[in-house]
Amino acid sequence: MNFTEKLRKTQHTQNSLLCIGLDTDIKKIPKHLLKAENPQLEFNKIVIEATKDLVCAYKLNLAFYEEYGVKGWDTIEKTLELIPEGIITIADGKRGDIGNTAEKQASALLHKLNFTSATISPYMGFDAIEPFTASQQKGAFVLCVTSNSGAKDFQHLKISGKPLYEHVAIKSKKWNTNQNIGLVVGATRISELKKIRHIAPEMPFLIPGVGAQKGDLEQSVKYGCTNEGDLALINIGRSIIYVSMQRIFDNKVREAAEYYSHTINYYRKKYYSIV
């Protein structure tokens, strides 16, 4: 089973397109957790336990863990052990370097830590991406159109009559011989999302930017899904994991995750023929 098939199976089994971003900032978690031996891990454990039946994926922004050196890497490893088998895991480190370096990056994230997939910068071309796609069971989400304000500095530059992000989408589709390459397309870029889905109708899309960044959830579902109403991962982080600072906060986290999961499915039913 290749990565895209695995993702599709997980989304159908879980009946969810929701991806929760575990971008765990110690400065933002409930204060009583700071007394724990590992506050990040304890927080992640509570969030995962409260939401694991509502998601298709968890995305860990590696920078929030790398800041703490060896302890941070240990937290990543132990967090991954808490995530149920079958749920997609995404190492959001935006890797991508010359071939032999990329091989080490891919080995660390996809094999030693055993993430299901990773985010990759396409700037250095195919040899920076290839090690992440060597195994059909592992996935690579290539940065295409990101949700940050500086995205237009390069991603919209015209080359041979097309913006750079279109070239990235076209190349990624060509490289996708193992059916394990996806694209990162921000929910704040709906017109671009619509265009890229037309270019790559059957590739997975990781869609950040809903929630704190004010991306359009309905339009992200409408234009981000395939014709089967799947293969879009709607990533939401802060609006779920930091919804409460109370000592007992898992119920609030679950309520927020339920809201987004159910709303996403409402839009799926509205625009696609799903049960």
User: 206-248, pLDDT tens digit by residue?
Assistant: 999 887 677 899 999 999 999 999 999 999 999 999 999 999 9
How much of the chain is helix, strand and coil, in % rounded to 5?
Answer: 50, 15, 35
Residue 151 CB partners (closer than 8 Å, separation 6+):
145, 186, 189
Comparing 146 with 211, the larger pLDDT belongs to 146
Gap between the Cα atoms of 163 and 39, Å rounded:
43
Element (H, E) at 266: helix 250-271
Give 205's Cβ-side CA count (13 Å radius).
34
Which residues sit opposite 118 in a β-bridge?
A: 91, 140
Question: Range of 176's domain?
Answer: 3-271
Output b/e per residue, 226-247; b: 16+ Cβ within 10 A. Answer: beebbbbbbbbbebbbbbeeee
- pTM for this entry: 0.96
Q: How many other C-beta atoms are found inside a 10 Å radius of the C-beta of residue 66?
A: 12
Distances in Å between the Cα of 156 and the Cα atoms of 52, 161, 172, 184 are 37, 11, 17, 15
Query: Residue 199 CA to chain centroid, in angstroms?
Result: 20
Report whether pLDDT(275) > 80: no
pLDDT mean over 56-63: 98
Is position 94 annotated as part of the catalytic site?
yes
| pLDDT-derived band at 152, boundaries 50, 70, 90 | confident
Look-up of token digits 């929630």: 211
pLDDT of residue 212: 67
Gap between the Cα atoms of 13 and 7, Å rounded:
10
Amino acid identity for residue 167 in this structure: H
Q: Which of 9, 52, 78, 94 is catalytic?
A: 94
SS3 label, residue 234 = strand
Query: How many domains, in total, are found in the chain?
Result: 1
Contact (Cβ atoms closer than 8 angstroms) between residue 56 and residue 88 = yes
Gap between the Cα atoms of 273 and 202, Å rounded:
16
pLDDT mean over 15-29: 97
Contact (Cβ atoms closer than 8 angstroms) between residue 267 and residue 218 = yes
**What is the percent of the chain with per-residue pLDDT over 70, rounded to a whole number?**
99
CATH code of the domain covering residue 13: 3.20.20.70
Tokens (6 digits) for 83: 């995530």
Which residues sit opposite 197 in a β-bridge?
A: none
